Amino acid sequence: MAGTVTLGQALNRALRDALAADDSVVVYGEDVGPLGGVFRVTDGLTAEFGEERCFDSPLAEAGIVGTAVGMAMYGLRPVVEMQFDAFSYPAFEQVVSHVAKMRNRTRGRLELPMVIRIPYGGGIGAVEHHADSSEAYWAHTPGLRVVTPATPSDGYSMLREAVDSPDPVVFLEPKRRYWTKEEAVLPVRTAPMDRAVVRRSGDDVTLLAYGPMVETALEAAAAAAEEGTSVEVVDLRSLSPFDDATAAASVRRTGRAVVVHEASGFAGYGAEVAARLTEQCFHYLEAPVLRVCGLDVPYPPPVLEEHHLPSVDRILDAFDRLQWERTWTAAPAPAEVGA
């Protein structure tokens, strides 16, 4: 498969290849069978692999995740879909009290190699409950790996890696980017899924983004370049664990950082990014790490979502607030405090 591929297609191909490679992989959830999922990410899988490998279950998210726990206990590698972000909430207890803890509870005797796919985020004009960004809930929960791809290649590679992972993975799919295209050759292996990557190099500011906001961040960086500001864009990819090395190295070099996400800012994931980069890079920072996030309101109705979502303009505004007039010459590198 070479040529133009969308994120949705890349994810579909990853599932197909995973099903073909390993008989212990099963895919199920709501409408993932004949319909192929409401976003068609599971399109054709039932036809190709049969009802035993890709199928529709009763409509109950706790039941879906809970049965997947049992399958994984047995040794299967279930990949389940939550149809939309807010519809993963009924499964919250199963995820937090079991998926995240079973390995630890049993001293590693029961691993849960399972993947919970969640299309997340807004920007598609959807009505209430169809545009939440739930990453902070999952990232705060030890025992889960939480990853989110931003490009078709990463979608393919990270999903394959998630399915192969011995740990349970919450796999967050930026739904507004399902149709994002890339020239790619599949199968492909990109960076390991627990690594951040630099998507664009720059010297003046580090812009940290993930999932749906990576594209927006790159646009902002391009716009800033025209105004003479050189922005380095870091795609975090793995929200938990966090790749300190990549992010902190960039911030130490640029001395300024902005983190961007769609979720409400308050107690959001960006707070962790800002807090830990400040801990690790304090004396390199010319200004506080700023956050450009969704407003601290419930996700708005479609006509207002543009006001909620971080935009290129808001990111550029944040750059302007990075206290450029205050640049000091770098102090001799002090010992940094541990994370």
Ligand X SMILES: Cc1ncc(C[n+]2csc(CCOP(=O)(O)OP(=O)(O)O)c2C)c(N)n1
CB of 243 to a copy of itself, least distance (A): 13
Phi, psi for 122 (deg, rounded to 5): -110, -150
Can you tell me the distance from the alpha carbon of 74 to that of 146, in angstroms, rounded to the nearest whole number? 23
Asked if residues 4 and 16 have their Cβ atoms less than 8 Å apart, the reply is: no
Exposure of 124 in the CB half-sphere (CA atoms within 13 A)? 21
Asked if residues 166 and 112 have their Cβ atoms less than 8 Å apart, the reply is: no
Q: Hey, how many other C-beta atoms are within 10 angstroms of the C-beta on 335?
A: 6
Return the closest-CA partner of residue 263 out of 166, 134, 78.
134
Nearer to another protein, 3 or 70 (CB): 70
Can you tell me the distance from the alpha carbon of 158 to that of 122, in angstroms, rounded to the nearest whole number? 22
CB of 327 to another protein, least distance (A): 25
Question: Of the residues 98, 129, 130, 261, which is catalytic?
Answer: 130
CB of 33 to ligand X, least distance (A): 13
- 105 contacts a copy of itself (rule: CB under 8 A): yes
- 166 contacts a copy of itself (rule: CB under 8 A): no
Nearer to a copy of itself, 230 or 278 (CB): 278
By CB under 8 A, how many residues form the interface with a copy of itself?
Answer: 52
Can you tell me the distance from the alpha carbon of 41 to that of 32, in angstroms, rounded to the nearest whole number? 8
CB of 206 to ligand X, least distance (A): 38
What is the helix (H) or strand (E) element at residue 324, kind and residue range? Answer: none
Can you tell me the distance from the alpha carbon of 170 to that of 145, in angstroms, rounded to the nearest whole number? 6
Sheet harboring 205-209: ordered strands across?
197-200, 231-235, 205-209, 257-264, 290-294
Q: Which residue is nearest to ligand X (CB)?
A: 87
Nearer to a copy of itself, 4 or 104 (CB): 104
CB of 107 to ligand X, least distance (A): 22
Nearer to a copy of itself, 111 or 279 (CB): 279
> Is 261 a residue of the active site?
no
Binding residues for a copy of itself (CB under 8 A): 62, 86, 89-90, 92-93, 96-97, 100-101, 104-105, 128-129, 136-137, 139-140, 142-143, 240, 242, 263-264, 266-272, 274-276, 278-279, 282, 285, 287-291, 296-298, 321, 323, 326, 334, 337-338
Q: Which residues are catalytic?
A: 130
